[in-house]
Amino acid sequence: MTNEHAMWLPDEVSRAVRGRSIAVIGDGMLLDTVRAEAERAGMTTARPGDRADLTIVPAAQAGTAWEEPLDLDGLGPEGFVHTQRDGRAVVVYGGASGALYGWFDHLRRSLHESGDGTDRCEPRHPLRMLDHWDNVSIHPVMGQVERGYAGGSIFYEDGRVRADLSRVARYARLLASVGINRVAINNVNVGRREALLLTEDLGEVVRIADLFRPWGIRTHLAVSFAAPLTIGGLDTADPLDEDVASWWEDAATAVYARIPDFGGFLVKADSEGQPGPYAYGRDHADGANMLARALAPHGGLVHWRAFVYNHRQDWRDRSTDRARAAFDTFAPLDGRFDDNVVLQVKFGPVDFQTREPVSPVIPAMAHTKVALELQVTQEYTGQQRHAVYLAPQWREVLDFAPFGPDAAPLSDIVQGGMAAVSNVGDDAFWTGHPLAQANLYAYGRLTWDPALDPRAILDEWIALTFGDDEAARRGIRSILDDSWRTYESYTAPLGVGFMVSPLRGHYGPDVDGYEYSPWGTYHFADRDGVGVDRTVATGTGYAGQYPEPWARTYESLETVPDELVLFFHHVPYGHRLHSGATVIQHIYDTHFAGVERVDEMAATWDDLRGHVPDDVHDRVRERFVEQRRSAREWRDQINTYFFRKSGVTDERGREIY
């Protein structure tokens, strides 16, 4: 593709090490990748016996490259130790993947004077996955990429795998640079055409896997639970049927014969029309374990999504609560899943909202491998038309301590790693909005180390992407640093969620768009108040799904955090928040303030003309035109709706329609 943006690996990054010497000790595909990267960067190969500026060496031979002892005990296959003194650096790796990650770590350090010292680096999560919701054929409703905001698929074109997959190879390099090691290449809503990737089109999957492999990335497929029935010629997909189990065993064997490092299956079952074990009177442990046993002899995993709920809900029934569904479904099954099943749980109980509480399913599954699922693509956060940096939100989720402030954070509890919905497409800027690249970068970095500061990650991404221009660094950081909270301020208030347009694919405001629908995403606004009563005492009981102290915290209006008050309680418009403002005045104030902040962000970007590439500046400026328009639409619809519902005027006398 012409004029394709390099994201965070432009030539300037390689120039930081150009002309220096390197010695790469070891053999194998990933070590060859490191050598090719060094050659690409313009490094020279050290001669035998010479001391290189950078030596990459296995732990067993560390003493040959560095005289002083290093802490290498238990260094895992993806881990490395980076040590540097007097301009000379050594990367000691535990396995070939560690050599690759150590190389990219050294590149990041080379952009600035990192100083002498030694750092041991190992990923916190062994499974660091991206899910692509890409369709082989263009779906009449979901398009080429479901929830895709950056053009078509990088994998598929004209109803088949692309003939030219060179962009996939470049994508694999970018993912490896931030530590992603697994990719699912098709939509979890598996259509009949996409189901054939497992069988008739397996040779095309081999081509994609061959491009990911040199970068330490394993390929996964989303599969349809009903595949034995729809493409396998059987008359059932019952997970306890022996013929069904045999069909999946044969399918798995065929895949591993062609792709020995195949990662496994990703499954969405019994959710939003996707088939599952409920059709046969079975539960989700029955379904997941059947697939897991087909994969187990080959070392494969089943990522089984916990996104299961009734999407044909009666809005008149206030006792039904979509937020309860995943816990009610999966908590009774804890301990019944096989070891190679990973239960993939959305970070919140509803659907990737700008603000919602952390899902209680995660702490409830003490005897199950759980993966935290995030959404890098901005379905409910501006769809890559708005500049919204999501790492601060993710860091809050990762820091949440389900069993109390002195207990382990969520990042230590999710033993199945992390997964997220990807945000790239065939757009020249990969993510549509150039600043949305920061979210993909930050996701990778947080999967490796969830304790990283989102601001530090942002500064790192800016330096890698735009160089050392101080005006660019200050300006972009000013725009993105608090952009998630800015977006929250002018959209759905105080954790109530949704209020988005169903007719525009969840983009833009429609306060009652889902209010009388079967989807279970309600706000229950009336003349007296707003919010969903999820208390145990008088509501749906959802608050009681949490362990203490959170069950007690969320149950009470005295202790529930302001930002979640409408998620857990139906309150009068005059209810006074901990901030001191009433609910209705908070709605007015934040929506006016949000628009003002977007205007400031757009003006800051205008001032960066000449400090960033012209094509980047033009695209982002175009997106800010839309963000400013949309923010005003959100402000005016939300404020007008609640003014007309409540009859309470803005105490500051601003215009509300």
In this prediction, residue 112 has a pLDDT band, given cuts at 50, 70 and 90, of confident
Assess whether pLDDT exceeds 80 at residue 1: no
Digit-coded pLDDT (tens) for 206-260: 999 999 999 999 999 999 999 999 999 999 999 999 999 999 999 999 999 999 9
Cα separation, 602 vs 609, in Å, equals 12
**Percent of residues, the chain, with pLDDT higher than 70:** 100
Catalytic-role residue among 122, 379, 533, 563? 379
Digit-coded pLDDT (tens) for 282-337: 999 999 999 999 999 999 999 999 999 999 999 999 999 999 999 999 999 999 99
Assess whether pLDDT exceeds 70 at residue 453: yes
- Other C-beta atoms closer than 10 Å to the C-beta of 344 total 27
Question: Among 47-51, 153-157, 354-358, which stretch is predicted with the lowest mean pLDDT?
Answer: 47-51
Within 62-111, strands assigned E span: 80-85, 88-93
Catalytic-role residue among 116, 272, 526, 606? 272
Assess whether pLDDT exceeds 90 at residue 115: no
328 belongs to the catalytic site: no
At 533, the amino acid letter reads D
Within 217-326, strands assigned E span: 218-222, 264-267, 301-305
Tell me the sheet residues that pair with 85: 88
**Which of 108, 188, 146 has its CA nearest to residue 448?**
108
Assess whether pLDDT exceeds 50 at residue 476: yes
- For the chain, the maximum distance between any two Cα atoms, rounded to a whole number of angstroms, is 83
Q: Is 589 helix (H, G, I), strand (E, B) or coil?
A: helix
At 544, the amino acid letter reads G
Cα separation, 116 vs 83, in Å, equals 7
**Which of 158, 626, 161 has its CA nearest to residue 388?**
626
In this prediction, residue 433 has a pLDDT band, given cuts at 50, 70 and 90, of very high
Q: Tell me what pLDDT residue 317 has.
A: 94
Q: Quote the DSSP letter at residue 609.
A: B
272 belongs to the catalytic site: yes
Question: Among 49-53, 128-132, 213-217, 344-348, which stretch is predicted with the lowest mean pLDDT?
Answer: 49-53
In this prediction, residue 111 has a pLDDT band, given cuts at 50, 70 and 90, of confident
Q: Tell me what pLDDT residue 307 has.
A: 96
At 237, the amino acid letter reads A
Digit-coded pLDDT (tens) for 382-399: 999 999 999 999 999 999
351 belongs to the catalytic site: yes
Q: Tell me what pLDDT residue 254 has.
A: 98
Cα separation, 124 vs 126, in Å, equals 7
Mean pLDDT of 56-75: 95
Mean pLDDT of 477-491: 98
Catalytic-role residue among 351, 356, 427, 563? 351
- Other C-beta atoms closer than 10 Å to the C-beta of 10 total 15
In this prediction, residue 342 has a pLDDT band, given cuts at 50, 70 and 90, of very high
Give whole-number Cα distances, 270 to 147, 163, 286, 329, 505, in Å. 20, 34, 13, 11, 22
48/283: higher pLDDT: 283
Task: Give all domains of the chain, ordered by start, each with its CATH number.
Answer: 11-121 (3.30.379.10), 128-452 (3.20.20.80), 488-532+570-646 (3.90.1330.10)
Rounded to the nearest 10°, the torsion over CA 536, 539, 541, 546 is -70
* Dihedral (CA of 368, 289, 127, 435) sign: negative
Residue with tokens 């809050």: 396
- H/E stretch holding 624: helix 614-646
Assess whether pLDDT exceeds 90 at residue 565: yes
